[in-house]
Chain A
Amino acid sequence: MSADRISSISQGGHVSLGEDAATTSERLRSLLARPIPPEELDENTRSVAAPAGRRQRFARPILVVQLGPELLGLDVGLARRVVRVAKTHRIPHRTHDAFGGIANVGGELVLVARLDRLLGLDHAGDESARRMVVLGDERRPWVVVVDRVEGVRRFDAEQFLTAPATVARALDGMTEALAPLDDNAFVSILDSSRLARGLERCLS
């Protein structure tokens, strides 16, 4: 997948690669205030004419968080809530390295997993920026601590790069794909079911 293609799509005006909502709406306003160039009309026609499934793929909402030196992407279907970091209480005799204990999240006692240890990363940065992310369905929730929450971004799944083989082939690898950002950076999109399995393993 070439860099040209990425830029051509992002200039197309309907996709936001790493743009936040404010710039998008600004751009939309300026779009409405000028005549539509024919290329853009074509592009939009193609986009609207594309089958629904294809169009949905264009904008997959992902919660982007920072953990240590890496940017991680969590499917918003999996990452339900972001909350302040609450104190974690260890559970005696439960010594799995990636199991943290329980924390009071909005009045509920929720199991805490160490995403840093599941992924082999070390926490970094200002502690005040840290947040807890509630994962999983309402009946079996988990929380994990991340160093910073970037927000929800929409990614074009067609632009995803495959994860390196050392991760993709690894027994405990969790990355589904890499979503490229500008300036050579990328977000590691975590595979929801592999992450869920990793979380369950914490209880063993």
Chain B
Amino acid sequence: MSAGDLGGFSLFDLFRAEAETHGRSLNDGLLALEANPDDVVAIEPLMRAAHSLKGAARIIGLDLAVKLAHAMEDVLVAAQKGRERLASPRIDQLLRGTDLLAKLAAISEAELTQWNAAHQAEVDVLAAALAAAPPAAAFASAAAVPVAEAFTPAIAPPSLLQPAAAPASTVPAAAASVEAKTVRVSADSVDRIMRLAGEMTVESRRFTGLRDRMLALKERLLDLGETIERLEGEVGSHPRVREAGARVRDAFRDAAHHLAASDELSQRVEETSTSLYHATLGSRMRPFGDITHGFPRLVRDLAKELGKQVKLDLVGASVPVDRDILARLEAPLNHMVRNAIDHGIEMPNDRIAASKAPMARIAIEARHQAGHLIVRVSDDGRGIDPERIRAKVVSRSLAAPEMAERMSIAELLEFLFLPGFSTASTVTEISGRGVGLDVVQSTAQEIGGKAAIESRLGKGTAFRLELPLTLSVVRAAVVEIAGEPYAFPLVRLERVVRMPYAELTTVEGRQQFMLDGVSVGTVDASVLLGLGETERDDTASIMVVAHGRGDEAERYGLLVANFEGESDLVVRTLDARLGRVSHVSAAALTETGEPLLIVDVDDLVQSVRQLLSEGRLRGTSSSVASSQRRKRRVLVVDDSLTVREVERQLLTRLGYDVDVAVDGADGLNAVRQGSYSLVVSDVDMPRMNGFEFVAAVRREARFADLPIIIVSYKDREEDRIAGMQAGANAYLTKGAFRDDTFARTVSDLVGGPETND
């Protein structure tokens, strides 16, 4: 088998792409054919699809696939020529073949040999069955579950988000022609083009600066012209002066002319680069139908298995959706549909008894609404009984009975999103234990949207997802923290508050302010990010974030240096070599092309809660106390608990703030994270000894002047020399604790325990 390189795609990649496309049209076409077996015209595209697949498989030497596609093609040819009528069992066989080919397309090239071995027998049996006479249509009538697809015409998308493909047409058979208009491009190169387009937009804005300088030049020429005119008046009309005047006026006219031309050019470049940027952004969009094409089949198979009758309506297959969102949406959508068939829809007899049509209806709809993507999965089944939820809420002690009694239907339905909260009394194969609705909600939240349930007992249930149109652009509050730009996504912000510092009051010395009658404590964002304290001017800019929802939520006010404004940011992932960066979710560029970091608000809030509970963080205190008198911090590094405690107590008694580390490596970490006025270290320690530790600290330029005292049992002269050579400021033996040597050395090196910095 050859794997020639074709512009980054191997031959197998190309086969895979083809198998995906043709597999989809086979699947859709076979389902349509099952609903309408006499539509001979519909057979032809299927025949062609099987034929193309056979050809593609032959080129790369996939003999199994050739055999299978060939057998399928034969059956379809026979059907087209009228030699065979395609009944449901035959369609089942063809669908099985389609599935096998789809599975083959999903594996990696390396797994091919193994796959061939594992599926040889299965393909042989299926190919033989396809070659044999059609199976008896034993339960043909029961199996005739018509599945219709109703695509509405394309909903006009906002101009920014042109769909990559032409709107899907109304018949599945035409799917192939729609696919033909799309090309496969690696996601990486689209991302790269988008970054370059973004850079282009930034660069084009530089024209404005250039224009201003040219304008200044024009003014200077005008000035010069006037000077010469005045000169002419003073010295009389000298021909040389007149000539100079004329030349300056010429130059001025030329400059004005060029300026106008460059103005027009810069405007055009800016417009074009903006369109380029939006067009590239739009190319990330895929039609919603990309993930729903499997659903008619899913619904058919599940309904058949459960003995239910279900009709699926798909609306908005052509609605453009960001490919990243689309990828995340497939699993929850699948879950909601399975859930609807399994739990929502009644058996045909029950439906008749409830005076409903025996044929149930499930609708999957997608549309754009007010800058959001709305996805709705609804059924006309039995609905959810709110009283059963209420009873369960009480029996699970999720709320007190009297509180549960007052809950509205909407509030009760919210409980279905709780992990493990299930109203299904039986465990089924189809939708598992009925859990997983929590996944629907968490997925929606992860991509910056929300999920809701509506239900009417006896009438049906609907899940509604409200999602952002794209993950690649996020609307955010751009702020300054420690002199650098950061952004808080607006969906994660409760409020942005700007108020005079003087209006912040304190509780236990920690600053707070009142927001809608709720006290919100403030925390310095810069400190959380390990970037030191925020410098304060007159106005406090505070990002209000919440942990939890509704009235139960805990609110925190994150203090930043400045709030710059709102902006649409194009999200870029951080370099993979950085790994997971705490408190940061991604990067972006500011309008001037400067990098900024997008804050992971959830992670930040988690840290705040954690640090508060460990006593390692106080809220911001009133500025006077905090910035003018602060205790100096000392780091004690020693592997012996006893020595550590002795030193800690001694230093605390002297009035210092003390942190401890258990060995050199731990100490080095601590030194890098915290701002210490002094380090006290032992010598003999595991992992990294004291000499190594001191030397490592000294290697970092910013710690060149950090006072370090080594305290050791080793009192030989060579140990002392080694310690001083490593970079310690003082070398004491542990006897120093018996008199005031230690205390004196500390105070000599750093001064008193309090600082005015």
Contacts and interface: CB of A to CB of B under 8 A. Distances in A.
Given A91-B597, A102-B595, A140 B577 contact: yes
Interface string B574-592: 1101110111100101000
Interface in B497-517: none
A32 B581 CA distance: 62
B485 A90 contact: no
Given A91-B584, A104-B594, A111 B199 contact: no
B581 A89 contact: no
Contacts of A106: 199
A97 B597 contact: no
Given A97-B702, A104-B589, A92 B578 contact: no
A103 B572 CA distance: 13
Interface of B: 195-196, 198-200, 482, 484-485, 529-531, 572, 574-575, 577-579, 581-584, 587, 589, 593-597, 672-673, 699-702
Contact of A107 (B199, B529, B699): B199
27 contacts: A86-B593, A87-B595, A88-B595, A89-B594, A89-B596, A90-B484, A91-B574, A91-B584, A91-B597, A93-B529, A94-B581, A95-B530, A96-B672, A97-B699, A97-B702, A103-B595, A104-B589, A106-B199, A107-B198, A108-B195, A109-B574, A109-B575, A111-B575, A111-B577, A203-B577, A203-B578, A203-B579
Contacts of B579: 203
A111 B575 CA distance: 8
In order of increasing CB-CB distance, the 6 nearest A-B pairs are A107-B199, A97-B700, A92-B529, A95-B672, A89-B595, A107-B195
Contact of B701 (A87, A96, A110, A117): A117
Given A95-B672, A104-B589, 10 more contacts: A86-B593, A87-B595, A89-B597, A92-B584, A92-B597, A102-B587, A104-B593, A109-B575, A111-B577, A203-B578
Interface string A124-142: 0000000000000000100
A106 B198 CA distance: 10
A93 B575 contact: no
Interface in A98-120: 101-104, 106-111, 117
Looking at chain A's contact residues, is the secondary structure mostly helix, strand, loop, or mixed?
loop
A80 B200 CA distance: 22
A92 B198 contact: no
B196 A107 contact: yes
Nearest to B481: A92
A184 B357 CA distance: 98
Residue from A93, A108, A110, A117 whose CB has the most chain B CB atoms within 10 Å:
A93
A155 B196 CA distance: 36
Interface of A: 86-97, 101-104, 106-111, 117, 140, 203
B578 A111 contact: yes
Nearest to B195: A107
B597 A109 contact: no
Nearest to A107: B199
Contacts of B529: 92-93
Contacts of B198: 107
B672 A91 contact: no
Contact of A92 (B531, B575, B701): B531
Contacts of B582: 92-93
A115 to B, nearest CB: 13
A181 B587 CA distance: 44
A95 to B, nearest CB: 4
Contact of A91 (B581, B589, B594, B700): B581
Contacts of B196: 107
Residue from A88, A89, A108 whose CB has the most chain B CB atoms within 10 Å:
A89
A106 B578 CA distance: 20
B616 to A, nearest CB: 14
Contacts of B199: 104, 106-107
A109 B584 contact: no
A91 to B, nearest CB: 6
A97 B703 CA distance: 10
Contacts of A203: 577-579
B531 A91 contact: no
Contacts of B482: 90
Given A97-B701, A97-B702, A102-B575, A92 B581 contact: yes
Contacts of B594: 86-87, 89, 104
Contact of B530 (A86, A87, A93, A140): A93
A201 B702 CA distance: 18
B583 A93 contact: yes
Residue from A86, A88, A89, A92 whose CB has the most chain B CB atoms within 10 Å:
A92
B361 to A, nearest CB: 49
Contacts of A110: 575
B422 to A, nearest CB: 40
A26 B584 CA distance: 56
Nearest to A90: B484
A189 B599 CA distance: 41
Given A93-B583, A95-B672, A117-B701, A104 B577 contact: no
A109 B577 contact: no
A94 B198 CA distance: 27
Nearest to A117: B701
A94 B699 CA distance: 17
A89 to B, nearest CB: 4
Contacts of A111: 575, 577-578
Contact of B595 (A93, A94, A95, A104): A104
Contacts of B584: 91-92
A92 B583 contact: yes
B674 to A, nearest CB: 10
A89 B583 CA distance: 15
Nearest to A98: B700
B288 to A, nearest CB: 30
A89 B672 contact: no
Contacts of A91: 574, 578, 581, 584, 597
A89 B485 contact: yes
Contacts of B597: 89, 91-92
B531 A109 contact: no
A109 B587 contact: yes
Residue from A97, A103, A106 whose CB has the most chain B CB atoms within 10 Å:
A97
A134 B529 CA distance: 28
A203 B484 CA distance: 21
Nearest to B583: A92
A106 B593 CA distance: 10
Contacts of B699: 97
A109 B572 contact: yes
A77 B484 CA distance: 33
Given A97-B701, A107-B199, A109-B572, A90 B593 contact: no
Nearest to B197: A107
A16 to B, nearest CB: 37
Contacts of A140: 577
Contacts of B578: 91, 94, 111, 203
Contacts of A94: 578, 581
Contacts of A101: 595
Contacts of B596: 89
A88 B595 CA distance: 7
A106 B197 CA distance: 11
Given A97-B701, A102-B587, A89 B484 contact: yes
B275 to A, nearest CB: 17
A110 B575 CA distance: 8
Nearest to B528: A92
Contacts of B589: 104, 109
B545 to A, nearest CB: 17
Nearest to A122: B701
B722 to A, nearest CB: 17
Contacts of A102: 574-575, 587, 595
A108 B195 CA distance: 7
B465 to A, nearest CB: 31
Contacts of B701: 97, 117
A96 B595 CA distance: 20
Contacts of A88: 595
A96 B200 CA distance: 33
